[in-house]
Each structure stands twice: as structure tokens, then as C-alpha cells.
Structure 1
């Protein structure tokens, strides 16, 4: 599993892990705020670097990943079901280099786990912020 840490401006850092068929957002257990809802604001440079890294990691995790607009609920990244934690998590991009994440459980440092379809729509929306 490949891991990279992205520093936020005022909260816990975002850990991005990638492996075959998954890209996962986590926080460090030592930075855990015990909050369900996290707002992660990045510098413009770090936000662009996060996008670049997500594209690279995703292309290694899945063959023929094609960023595209979500056309079904299964492809929409806003909500995902974490089978292991038996709960939903939520993710959305905001203005000013910010991600909002509602994690599925306080018992885990996992914030969000992408499948291929959700990552395709996430990268599609992420790219739109830089045009």
C-alpha cells in the first residue's frame, strides 16, 4: 500500500492510501479530533498537489480510469457506504481549497474509501475547480 500525507492549514492532516482497487482517506490517530465532520483546508499548492497525487494513485489502482461526470447514484462520490464500519460517509469539495468530510465512524481513522466509479466523478469535479 502506498501512503502520502497532505498537510492542512488548521486541522488534522489528510493521509491518502492507495492499493489495488481502492484509494482511502484517513487521519492519523494522534491527530484524531473525535469529530464526525471535518473541514480540511489546504494551501493552493498543496491542494493542486493532492489532485495530482490522486490522479496518479488512481491510475495505479484501476486500469483505464476515465474522469467523468456522475450519471448514477453509484458513481456519485458525495455518499459512500463503508461495509466494514457499517455506516455511511460523505465527502464534498468546497471553495478555497477545502474538502468537507463526514466520516462513517469515530471508532476508525478512515474518512472515506473510493471505488473506481466514485473516484472518476471525484477527479472530474476536482479538475473543474482549476479551470
Structure 2
């Protein structure tokens, strides 16, 4: 089953979240190395990633990263032999005013980032620390 939804921030930046049976991808039609997505107006994209993760992987449990392989900050694409990344940046010292930065591997097409189960668990763990209201998301 494939699930997808497009999200647009207040500046018009768009990220497409695509979930399938094996992973969750963040994609864009922009031809840039990096997407800076402002979360100030809406955290719907984070809620959607959590919902799709719960449906994609059995026993999905957000947890702290304990190794480099579980850390979502860097993503290595074997096929392209290149790294991408995903991280948060604070905006104007407001705790809940954040930007999500997505960096795609060199040579990647529309897919900027691919979550496997372990990386998604650590990502959602950090999301819930910043936005506790997401913890109650239903499938």
C-alpha cells in the first residue's frame, strides 16, 4: 500500500511524503540540494510521517538514537554512493518555531531522504520531545 501527501510551508516550499511497504521517502519537485521547510504554521507533515510509520512497520516505537546507524541526521544512499541529511534548526529563538532541513544525496532525483524503521523511530522520538502533542497521533 502506498500512501502519500504533499505539504507546503508558509513560503511555498513543498515536500511530498511517500510511504510504501518498506520505507518512507521525503521528495520534492524542486531541483535544489536542500529544502528548508518552515514548521511554524503547521506540524501536519510530522504527524503524517508518524501515522505512516505506525502503519508501515509493526511494533513501531519511537526511541533515542544509540548508534550512528540509528541516527537520522545522515542518510547514505548506497545506489548513489552519496549522503543526504535531515535535521531541525531553531528559528528566532522560539522553541516551537523550527525549520526542517532536508538535504538530498548528490545525483538523487526527486527523492531527498529515505527513512528505514530505525531512523524513523529516532526521528519521531526527537519530534515528540519538541512537540509532545504528536505522541497521541492515531493511525
Same fold (TM over 0.5): yes
8 Å CA contact retained: 1:23, 1:115: yes
Q: 1:11: how far off?
A: 4.4
Q: 1:128: how far off?
A: 0.9
4+ runs deviating over 3 angstroms: none
Distance 2:32 2:107 in 1: 7
The aligned counterpart of 1:62 is 57
Taking structure 1 as the reference length, the TM-score comes to 0.87
CA RMSD, 1 decimal: 1.5
Corresponding residue SS for 1:14: strand
Matches within 5 A, 1:92-111: 92-95=87-90, 96-111=97-112
Figure out how many residues of one structure are paired with residues of the other and give that number: 125
The aligned counterpart of 2:73 is 78
Alignment pair present for 1:53 and 2:53: no
Q: 1:94: how far off?
A: 2.2
Structure 1 gaps of 5+ residues are none
Superimposed CA distance per residue, residues 7-64 of structure 1 (whole angstroms, 9 cap, x where no aligned partner): 1122430100001120100002xxx1x32122111343x21x2222111100111110
The aligned counterpart of 1:124 is 125
Moved more, 102-111 or 69-78: 102-111
Q: 1:106: how far off?
A: 4.8
Moved more, 80-89 or 117-126: 80-89
